Amino acid sequence: MAFHLLVALAGTTLVLAGAMSFMPNAPQLPVLSAGDFPNIVIMALGAGWALLGAVQGIRTGKSRLAKALLVLNLLLAAIGAGGMTWWVLDYSYRLPPPVQVQSVPDFELTDQQGNAINALSMRGKPYVLIFSRGVW
């Protein structure tokens, strides 16, 4: 029983460590980059340990308090790992609702051949204006 508790607690610790390691970068760049990928794996591993500890502990253990602790621990690990994964993979990519533009504002840019491009020079033919971000 004590061993299972230890495994489960180690799992939650792993989840917390994985989640905390996102924090330094979180305000500036809350997106999954290649460098963030190990954190997700670490958190998944931690959640797995918490699950393993809980299942084995509840199966073989006798103490009710320990079982309750194991369930609570598993819940914490699952919320931590699931929440961080959702935040990194989905939530961090969200953008505010767009501003609706009814007509093209006056703009002035230079194209690849050095021609001046502006709202007036583009008049007369329909066109598509694409804002591309390079890194997307």
Stretch that binds another protein, among 1-9, 71-79, 80-88, 93-101 (CB under 8 A): 93-101
Give yes or no for residue 34 binding another protein (CB under 8 A).
no
Give yes or no for residue 33 binding another protein (CB under 8 A).
no
Give yes or no for residue 97 binding another protein (CB under 8 A).
yes
Q: Which helix H or strand E contains 84, and what residues bound it?
A: helix 64-89
- Interface residue with another protein among 29, 37, 59, 88 (CB under 8 A) is 29
Q: Please, which contacts does 54-63 make with residues 24 or more away whose CB atoms are closer than 8 Å?
A: 54/4, 54/8, 56/4, 56/7, 57/1, 57/4, 57/5, 57/8, 60/1, 60/4, 61/1, 61/4, 62/1, 63/1
Give yes or no for residue 115 binding another protein (CB under 8 A).
yes
Where does this chain bind another protein (CB under 8 A)? 28-30, 90, 93-112, 115, 117, 119, 122-136
